[in-house]
Amino acid sequence: MDRLSTKIDIRKLDLEQLKQLFVAQGEQGFRAKQLHEWLWKKSATSFEQMSNLSAKIRNFLAENYEINSVTIANKQLSNDRTIKSGFRLYDNHLVEGVLIPTNDRMTACVSSQVGCSLTCKFCATGYMDRKRNLEAAEIYDQVVLIKQQAEEHYQIPLSNIVYMGMGEPLLNYANVVQSIQLITQPDGLGMSPKRITVSTAGIAKMIKKLADEDLGVNLALSLHAANDVKRDKIMPINETNTLEALKDALSYWYEKTGIRVTLEYILLYNVNDTLEDAQELYEFWKSVKSKVNIIEFNPIAEADFKKTEAKTLDKFINFLEAKGVIVNVRRSRGKDIDAACGQLAIKTKETQKSLE
């Protein structure tokens, strides 16, 4: 594709704008619905595929518009069957997405930004500069491509989507919301919003705004410390979005949606893994309707944190469960190809097994 192209991406036009476009060309308005279906239900990547549109219409569209679809630059297969993809965007930027297969689900982990601006100390993406936000169509495309991988490689349909890849979804708010609508609407991919989770490092006012959208999606908060001093050190966003502000936002979320939030907590050796830390997590949990995901830390080259010891992990979990906290331990997948939680940073290893 010519990167200097002045053509408009047809996917930037909504259904009403498409109708106006067709009427201006002397065509029936219903043609817009057909085009819309090709773009968002059938995920067409070229006008040539749109067989129920006349050659005249297709030629007009091709001459004046384009479809800036995302392509796969590289794919890597983990020993545990996880597939990491490097997705190339129309302006040559790269982001990463992951297909995570487990016994009971096929999950797409998608990115919302090129890089990230939040500088969380335990996350490889946080050491990258944020280049730009992804457009709604670019997030949608990741889902489509990962969905195809699930069907081609494992013959199992995609069941879940998590906005847990590169970037902070709530700092790309409008595009993230629009992408969810494209993925869930009957005239889009038609996936259930109950199968979608948006993960945030904690932007309090945007959590409230998302609650007001009434999208029906799940929310996960990357908490990782329930103590402001500790959280400030590992997640600088906490300096402007304190634990008290987050408690208020999460309470509002539950009031508006009735959906329990998931508190994500990475255990870091000698950082946030003591029983005192567990007590603070319990106190935070008590204040919001939530469940807790304990996440295994995945080493990154940029930081010298270590995974907590197994016996410390057990004590931490036992403490919480004894107090009635619902705890899930999320075992990392795709570590050998840098596809696990916190490892996405656009890099490859010569030892990785390719799917090409």
H or E element, residue 292: strand 290-296
120 is annotated as an active-site residue: no
CA 236 and chain centroid, separation: 21
DSSP string of 65-102, one letter each residue: EE----EEEEEEE-TTS-EEEEEEPTTS-EEEEEEEE-
Given the residues 109, 116, 120, 341, select the one marked as catalytic: 341
β-pair partners for 167: none
Kindly report the backbone phi and psi dihedral angles of residue 34, in degrees, each rounded to the nearest multiple of 5, phi listed first: -65, -45
Query: CA-to-CA distance for 29 and 262, rounded, in angstroms?
Result: 44
66 is annotated as an active-site residue: no
Kindly report the backbone phi and psi dihedral angles of residue 42, in degrees, each rounded to the nearest multiple of 5, phi listed first: -100, -5
Q: What is the side-by-side strand order in the sheet with 353-354?
A: 327-330, 290-296, 261-267, 218-222, 196-200, 160-163, 106-109, 94-101, 83-88, 71-77, 353-354
Alpha carbon dihedral 141, 143, 147, 150, in 10-degree steps, equals 120
Given the residues 66, 96, 138, 296, select the one marked as catalytic: 96
Query: CA-to-CA distance for 150 and 158, rounded, in angstroms?
Result: 6
The CA-to-CA distance between both ends of the chain, in Å, stands at 22
Query: CA-to-CA distance for 39 and 278, rounded, in angstroms?
Result: 48
Catalytic residue annotation: 96, 341
